[in-house]
Amino acid sequence: MTAVDVRAWIAEDLGAGDLTSEAVVPEGARARAVILLKERGVVCGLEPVRAVFEALDPEVAFEQVAADGDETEGEIARLEGDARALLGGERLALNLLGRLSGIATLTRLHVDAVDGTGVTILDTRKTTPGLRALEKYAVRCGGGTNHRLRLDDGVLIKDNHLRLAGSVGAAVELAKGSGAEVEVECESLEEVREALAAGADWLLLDNMSLSRLVEAVALVAGRAKLEASGGITLDNVREVAETGVDFISIGALTHSARAIDVSMEVL
Amino acid sequence: MTAVDVRAWIAEDLGAGDLTSEAVVPEGARARAVILLKERGVVCGLEPVRAVFEALDPEVAFEQVAADGDETEGEIARLEGDARALLGGERLALNLLGRLSGIATLTRLHVDAVDGTGVTILDTRKTTPGLRALEKYAVRCGGGTNHRLRLDDGVLIKDNHLRLAGSVGAAVELAKGSGAEVEVECESLEEVREALAAGADWLLLDNMSLSRLVEAVALVAGRAKLEASGGITLDNVREVAETGVDFISIGALTHSARAIDVSMEVL
Amino acid sequence: MTAVDVRAWIAEDLGAGDLTSEAVVPEGARARAVILLKERGVVCGLEPVRAVFEALDPEVAFEQVAADGDETEGEIARLEGDARALLGGERLALNLLGRLSGIATLTRLHVDAVDGTGVTILDTRKTTPGLRALEKYAVRCGGGTNHRLRLDDGVLIKDNHLRLAGSVGAAVELAKGSGAEVEVECESLEEVREALAAGADWLLLDNMSLSRLVEAVALVAGRAKLEASGGITLDNVREVAETGVDFISIGALTHSARAIDVSMEVL
Amino acid sequence: MTAVDVRAWIAEDLGAGDLTSEAVVPEGARARAVILLKERGVVCGLEPVRAVFEALDPEVAFEQVAADGDETEGEIARLEGDARALLGGERLALNLLGRLSGIATLTRLHVDAVDGTGVTILDTRKTTPGLRALEKYAVRCGGGTNHRLRLDDGVLIKDNHLRLAGSVGAAVELAKGSGAEVEVECESLEEVREALAAGADWLLLDNMSLSRLVEAVALVAGRAKLEASGGITLDNVREVAETGVDFISIGALTHSARAIDVSMEVL
Amino acid sequence: MTAVDVRAWIAEDLGAGDLTSEAVVPEGARARAVILLKERGVVCGLEPVRAVFEALDPEVAFEQVAADGDETEGEIARLEGDARALLGGERLALNLLGRLSGIATLTRLHVDAVDGTGVTILDTRKTTPGLRALEKYAVRCGGGTNHRLRLDDGVLIKDNHLRLAGSVGAAVELAKGSGAEVEVECESLEEVREALAAGADWLLLDNMSLSRLVEAVALVAGRAKLEASGGITLDNVREVAETGVDFISIGALTHSARAIDVSMEVL
Amino acid sequence: MTAVDVRAWIAEDLGAGDLTSEAVVPEGARARAVILLKERGVVCGLEPVRAVFEALDPEVAFEQVAADGDETEGEIARLEGDARALLGGERLALNLLGRLSGIATLTRLHVDAVDGTGVTILDTRKTTPGLRALEKYAVRCGGGTNHRLRLDDGVLIKDNHLRLAGSVGAAVELAKGSGAEVEVECESLEEVREALAAGADWLLLDNMSLSRLVEAVALVAGRAKLEASGGITLDNVREVAETGVDFISIGALTHSARAIDVSMEVL
């Protein structure tokens, strides 16, 4: 359940009105339609799609055939209502479904790829401006887990912070004072040792090779949670998972997912 | 030049404040940073990025090294300002640049692929909710041309309209009455003939094979503008262009572009 | 069909609450009312008016007696619902109806005045900030056609652009490169010749006398579309139409229409 | 001084970008321009116009030549800044100036017409949705006084309230309980007597003839403030003022003012 | 009746979704709940609370047991609807009810304390940013009367204005020119005399002792309305009322009211 | 650092313009002013206050004398700029400072009261709608730590969830599946045992007596984090801290803090 106000998005697509429907479809005409996944994928976004059509026709009947999180193909929803409203909301509805289902599907592929390893697949803050809540929800629909939602959500000390704070030790000490868990980005085993000594609770192992990850897991020996990140794809995600890290975070889940092919057909 | 109000996007990432910077970076500290393309691509989004940092620090110095539309790699901008502001805007700035440059780059690849054929590469309305103006701008930075911006922007009669209007002839006649140019989606040569007879100005040839496109071009013989769409990729775009159509429209430019890898480094 | 979010407008009129209704009308009281055109005109705005009352009372019964685009007088809608909601929305509803019906009515007068000449009456971008979509819709209800909706909607080279671009020829050449149709504002026959030579698709003949318009029509001889603009009123619009231009654009349709007299009466 | 956020209005006109300027005006080019009243009128709206241009170019130099409230003709402001920003803001700036100066000018004409009678010219709530604050400010620039700004601003019992409350006496008694001043709309001398007896502080004499107004003034004899309204134009406003009422309220000031002709010229 | 758009507030609490309900409560489960005042108080806020739950579940059944303005304890509303929607709106609903009922309750205590003195209890502009309309409504529910709602609502000359205008006399004279009632803040009897002489309609007696207030009442002798303000609490409000002032304004009604303890219980 | 868009708040107070300043203060007049804490407290809100004045006068000079988080009295900021802008922003600025400094001050009192016990003072989600980010920031300025910011921020199973999920065991098991830390509200030692057995990471001990808290601490023996909540005031917070719990959360920090007395004085 997310809070979506779709009116601004409708205005973005509708502008001064739908010239084609005004010309071609009689005022007050009614229509039935189905929404279809044209390729197999994990459905995501049916609630905002319902909100789109309800904003254009408060009396629309919207029936879900599938639920968010289902992996399926073909018909996922049926609609009946004002014909101009169905056509006026079609593109926005499909844009939402295509993108969110694309993210859920890509997440599911990664989650399945690490099945049995005990590793948790995380997203990142590399989301589309304006859509973070929905994209994070899509990751959950795909079986992933959300990493930090915002900058207010936890402490994660990255290379840019270290340049400003001086040393890992100094930065971690300052951050521990806030009472929150502290995560530190490490690019070398040296930095891993330093962060561990400073009391970091969680280490982000950035762009490390598989053998380096294995060394890091051995070195840390359970004293902090370990998250691998950087350069991880469907091809290597299982190997990374098998190094023994606890988490793998993947920016591409949200910034580079291909849209799923979705269409609406008036009956 | 686009009108961007970045405050809602900042709030989406910043929430109740940047815990890490508050803990690690002294209040009032200043910093310098560079923004880098980490792979070759067409830059897009420097103006909204400037707006992001100016919203967080009105005194920030933001110097463009590249301009929107440049194809380049490495340093594209330099910043100097309040250290917490630079870190607080970093992720949003990179999310914008990565996505928009991804679209511009993918567009440029298609535009270059049809070089010399006289074909115009068009985008579609398959954009991200909330980002249409910026994504359409990115297509222009990549050398593409914008198709309809909104539903108020022209008449395009698609299959769903035809099901509601009865026949192509009836639909085109109704639409011509509005005084606007009329485009009709055609899936067969039969529909091409019918639309042409009805007086359509522009035909959208949807999901046709190369040989069918050649036939359609011959059949129409310049009496209407022709736009090919559906299933077009970098691999086949030139062949499609060489069939003699005037326009090729590609939804993937905006709905499935991979983000370009961009980073910000504090000096 | 337009996307209207009326809540901000309701807040603008309601502020901290309707003191009169709170004092005079019992909480929970119900009422019936009619909305009336008190002079003959073209109705426009019933959908946003419905949205106003539904936002104040989701259970309101709103029955249209007339439809947008009808030319009529007297009763145009009936309402039944919470009495305070009807009174709280009355002023906003009438303000919308009065203005939009005023625009539709003024447009209809101009459209009727050129009946049989084949000329198309266009609006301009001289609309009220915040109301462009609704005002452009009102022009369509009056039988007019929309010119450019926004600056992203086509190329129109005006005198200010020419001062910055140097010559008409240079400007048109640059603009043709964008692939879009190019319209050029011309104030003399000399400029008409120059624009035509440069390949302009559409000429805006600005503030020309009737005899000058006739000359321009002869000179162009169908090689470009012609739009007359400037100083056109109900008194002279037919004469302008009879010069042979294709379009007449009239800013006053939206910037100076008198509001139609509308009222709501509680029964 | 008013609080204006012009970004939404800029987006309404700019959409996905100014195609003409992008094509014709080099990026980074600078320009100077003047804004001119092309007919004599009362200037209104220079502050929001400044805000429009500053939102598009934070470095713009905007110099007022006239001030809001001045009655003048010709040059009223000078600008220097990014050429695309000047052109991109031109239409919105002129739309604001034309409308607000139109209201201020029409108000001034009415105020001047009653000069010496001691009558105060009031506006009404018949304003454009979204523009009430600016339009009320324009009335003040023209020398008028604002009547109720919103429904929370005072008690005004109109015919629709009376139908729901039963009698004038009952309605006024209820309303006096709120501690606020109470105004009552009266359409006959009978209603004037009734409202006065009930203790109304202020009477709105709606659509009364001149002789009826004179009678009402005599009848009330200073025991309540008197406001005439309905059917008042420049032609009869002085006669109405000379009946002895205290206030004249005129909806046309805001709902039917003709826009003043304003233009911007690039130098 | 107030115009509330609760979607932004829902988003503020819900973010990317309610993790607990997603995990613990089955999708589609339904629930019934009651809302309770856990201490005696004046209820305020049931309409916005209804809007919160309707935004999350358009089909929710929301039944008021008490009405805004009732002084009560225990059950004030019953709900039935989607279980996740009830839990997702709970905190926002209670935050609104607790705060608004706190203001209404504190106002009622002051109103009761001056019962029989004829004094009117006023609020101030010391409200929470974003909540003024609702907080002013809460004061009315508690039996108080609203002072100025905004800066556009009347003239109130305070010490800062006087420092800029020079003298009380000059300031009042300027302000009378606007036709509005003029209130002047006075800190001494000297200033009272000066404001009275200048023609002020209303005097704000700021931070005066009881004996000074008595002197001011005698001095003014009904020639202007008198409002006491500053340092007034439940302990001394009756004594202040008995000095003979007409109004007492109290910032603490809105800026320092304690929230009433409210809870929601799922049945 | 927080992202604040103050324009809507300015409009809420300014409406159609500041009648008093328009009447009394000459256009273009300049002024200097100081902002003062009139009682000792912890300053909070200087950044949004700066934004308020910059929105009204982009050229305003705003100099901080104190910083957010300082405990002080007297002058905290100096301003110089357009006189009408200073007066127009005064009330909003003081409303923000008063409320946020009130929260920071109340938090500091609680933090100081538990000094040396090792206990962390937490806030809750009982914040003002629309102000959560700022109020959470104020808690941090007072030395407190933020508990959940939103419902997306962690799993907290409360009594209402338990009624829907059946048993504590079932609920915790479901929630652990999400990979997040799980907190459970417990009202008895029986529930503490059950939650602990189910694997809860964090227990919220709601409304327990001091002796019950001591028992709970002994029973849990470090196997989960313990948070005390409910009925905690400055009078008993240290006793609660000394029971050995890890956290104390206090809704009153944000829902019932008294505003600090702040004023602005024009020099």
What string of DSSP letters covers chain A?
-----THHHHHHHHTT--HHHHHHS-TT-EEEEEEEEEEEEE---HHHHHHHHHHH-TT-EEEESS-TT-EEEEEEEEEEEEHHHHHHHHHHHHHHHHHHHHHHHHHHHHHHHTTTS-PEEE--S---TT-HHHHHHHHHHTT-B---SSTTS-EEE-HHHHHHHSSHHHHHHHHHTTSS-EEEEESSHHHHHHHHHHT-SEEEEES--HHHHHHHHHHHTTSSEEEEESS--TTTHHHHHTTT-SEEE-THHHHSPPPP-EEEEE-
Instruction: Flag whether pLDDT at C64 surpasses 70.
Output: yes
What percentage of residues in chain F have a pLDDT greater than 90?
80
Q: Under a CB-based contact definition with an 8 Å cutoff, are residues D198 and D165 in contact?
A: no
User: Is the Cβ of F190 closer than 8 Å to some Cβ of chain E?
Assistant: no
DSSP letter at B149 equals S
Instruction: Flag whether pLDDT at B1 surpasses 60.
Output: no
User: Which of E183, E206, E227, E246 is an active site residue?
Assistant: E206
Cβ neighbors of C188 (< 8 A, separation 6 or more) are none
What is the structure's pLDDT at B3?
57
> Mean per-residue pLDDT for C217-221?
96
What is the structure's pLDDT at F167?
85
What is the structure's pLDDT at E3?
56
Instruction: Report the b/e string of C81-95 with b at 16+ CB within 10 A.
Output: bbbbbbbbbbbbbbb
CB-CB under 8 Å, F17 with D136: yes
Task: Give CA–CA dist F37/F42, Å, rounded.
Answer: 9
Element housing C174 (H / E): helix C168-176
Task: Give CA–CA dist F267/F16, Å, rounded.
Answer: 27
Instruction: Flag whether pLDDT at C5 surpasses 80.
Output: no
Instruction: Flag whether pLDDT at C242 surpasses 80.
Output: yes
Say whether C139 sits in a helix, a strand or coil.
Answer: helix
pLDDT tens, position by position, C164-198: 888 888 889 888 876 778 999 999 999 999 999 99
Instruction: Flag whether pLDDT at F111 surpasses 90.
Output: yes
- Among A84-88, A230-234, D204-208, E178-182, the least confident range: E178-182
What string of DSSP letters covers chain F?
-----THHHHHHHHTT--HHHHHHS-TT-EEEEEEEEEEEEE---HHHHHHHHHHH-TT-EEEESS-TT-EEEEEEEEEEEEHHHHHHHHHHHHHHHHHHHHHHHHHHHHHHHTTTS-PEEE--S---TT-HHHHHHHHHHTT-B---SSTTS-EEE-HHHHHHHSSHHHHHHHHHTTSS-EEEEESSHHHHHHHHHHT-SEEEEES--HHHHHHHHHHHTTSSEEEEESS--TTTHHHHHTTT-SEEE-THHHHSPPPP-EEEEE-
Bridge partners of C79?
A: C33, C62
Select from C154, C124, C119 the least CA-distant residue to C226: C119
Contact residues, chain E, for D140 at CB < 8 Å = 178
Q: What is the pTM of this model?
A: 0.88
What is the structure's pLDDT at D175?
87
pLDDT tens, position by position, A57-84: 988 999 999 999 999 999 999 999 999 9
Contact residues, chain B, for D22 at CB < 8 Å = 1, 140
Sign of CA dihedral E134, E136, E138, E140: negative
What is the structure's pLDDT at F134?
95
Q: What's CA C235's distance to the chain center, in Å?
A: 20
Q: What's CA C199's distance to the chain center, in Å?
A: 30
Q: Cα A58–A63–A67 angle (5° rounding)? A: 125
CB-CB under 8 Å, C137 with A17: yes
> Mean per-residue pLDDT for C42-64?
94
Instruction: Flag whether pLDDT at F4 surpasses 80.
Output: no
Instruction: Flag whether pLDDT at F1 surpasses 60.
Output: no
What is the structure's pLDDT at F16?
86
What spatial distance separates the first Cα and last Cα of chain E, rounded to whole Å?
A: 30
Q: How many beta carbons lie within 10 A of that of residue E129, not counting itself?
A: 24
Residue with tokens 């004469």: C239
Confidence of residue A261 (pLDDT cuts 50, 70, 90): very high
Instruction: Flag whether pLDDT at B116 surpasses 60.
Output: yes
How close E134 comes to chain C (CA, Å)?
A: 7
> Mean per-residue pLDDT for B36-44?
97
Say whether E234 sits in a helix, a strand or coil.
Answer: coil
CB-CB under 8 Å, B145 with C180: yes
Select from A216, A193, A196, A219 the least CA-distant residue to A205: A216
Element housing D11 (H / E): helix D7-14
Task: Give CA–CA dist E208/E206, Å, rounded.
Answer: 6
Tell me the average pLDDT of chain D: 93
Give the residue from chain E lying closest to C16, CA to CA: E133
Extended strands (E) in B127-221: 155-157, 182-186, 202-206
CB-CB under 8 Å, C152 with B146: yes
Instruction: Flag whether pLDDT at F165 surpasses 90.
Output: no
Contact residues, chain F, for A179 at CB < 8 Å = 120, 145
User: Is the Cβ of A81 closer than 8 Å to some Cβ of chain B?
Assistant: no
Instruction: Flag whether pLDDT at D135 surpasses 70.
Output: yes
User: Is the Cβ of E59 closer than 8 Å to some Cβ of chain C?
Assistant: no
User: Is the Cβ of E145 closer than 8 Å to some Cβ of chain C?
Assistant: no
Q: Under a CB-based contact definition with an 8 Å cutoff, are residues A131 and A32 in contact?
A: no
Q: Under a CB-based contact definition with an 8 Å cutoff, are residues B75 and B36 in contact?
A: yes
What is the structure's pLDDT at C162?
87
Query: 10-residue block means of pLDDT along chain E (267 residues)?
Result: 75 90 90 97 96 92 96 97 95 97 98 96 95 95 92 89 86 81 93 94 95 96 96 95 97 95 95
What is the structure's pLDDT at A180?
73
Element housing B199 (H / E): none
- Among A99-103, B170-174, F89-93, F260-264, the least confident range: B170-174
Confidence of residue C4 (pLDDT cuts 50, 70, 90): low
User: Which of F30, F32, F91, F193 is an active site residue?
Assistant: F91
Q: Under a CB-based contact definition with an 8 Å cutoff, are residues C254 and C135 in contact?
A: yes
- Among A117-131, D244-258, E76-90, F144-158, the least confident range: F144-158
> Mean per-residue pLDDT for B27-41?
95
How close C134 comes to chain A (CA, Å)?
A: 7
Instruction: Flag whether pLDDT at B139 surpasses 70.
Output: yes
- Dihedrals phi, psi of B71, to nearest 5 degrees: -100, 120
User: Is the Cβ of F1 closer than 8 Å to some Cβ of chain B?
Assistant: yes
> Mean per-residue pLDDT for A36-41?
97
Tell me the average pLDDT of chain B: 93
User: Is the Cβ of E180 closer than 8 Å to some Cβ of chain D?
Assistant: yes
By Cβ distance, the residue of A3, A54, A140 closest to E7 is A3
Task: Give CA–CA dist E151/F88, Å, rounded.
Answer: 8
Confidence of residue B216 (pLDDT cuts 50, 70, 90): very high
To the query of whether residue D185 is one of the catalytic residues in this protein, the response is yes
Q: Under a CB-based contact definition with an 8 Å cutoff, are residues D221 and D246 in contact?
A: no
> Mean per-residue pLDDT for C59-80?
96
What is the structure's pLDDT at D4?
66
Task: Give CA–CA dist D22/B139, Å, rounded.
Answer: 13
By Cβ distance, the residue of A136, A145, A180 closest to F178 is A145
To the query of whether residue D38 is one of the catalytic residues in this protein, the response is no
Instruction: Flag whether pLDDT at C248 surpasses 90.
Output: yes
How close D130 comes to chain E (CA, Å)?
A: 15
Instruction: Flag whether pLDDT at C220 surpasses 70.
Output: yes
> Mean per-residue pLDDT for D162-186?
86
Contact residues, chain E, for C27 at CB < 8 Å = 67
Higher-confidence position of D241 and C7: D241
3-state secondary structure string across C194-239: HHHHHCCCEEEEECCCHHHHHHHHHHHCCCCEEEEECCCCCCCHHH
Instruction: Flag whether pLDDT at F180 surpasses 80.
Output: no
By Cβ distance, the residue of C16, C27, C58 closest to E2 is C16
What is the structure's pLDDT at E4?
67
Confidence of residue B4 (pLDDT cuts 50, 70, 90): low
Select from A150, F177, A251, F172 the least CA-distant residue to E16: A150
By Cβ distance, the residue of F54, F133, F150 closest to B17 is F133
Element housing C36 (H / E): strand C30-42
What is the structure's pLDDT at D167?
85
By Cβ distance, the residue of C14, C27, C58 closest to E2 is C14
Task: Give CA–CA dist B110/B117, Å, rounded.
Answer: 12
> Mean per-residue pLDDT for C79-99?
96
pLDDT tens, position by position, D58-115: 889 999 999 999 999 999 999 999 999 999 999 999 999 999 999 999 999 999 999 9
Residue with tokens 């762009």: A207
Q: For the CA atoms of D83, D85, D89, D94, what is the dihedral angle to 10 degrees? A: -30
Pairing of β E71-82 and β F61-64 = unpaired
CB-CB under 8 Å, A67 with E16: no
ipTM: 0.92
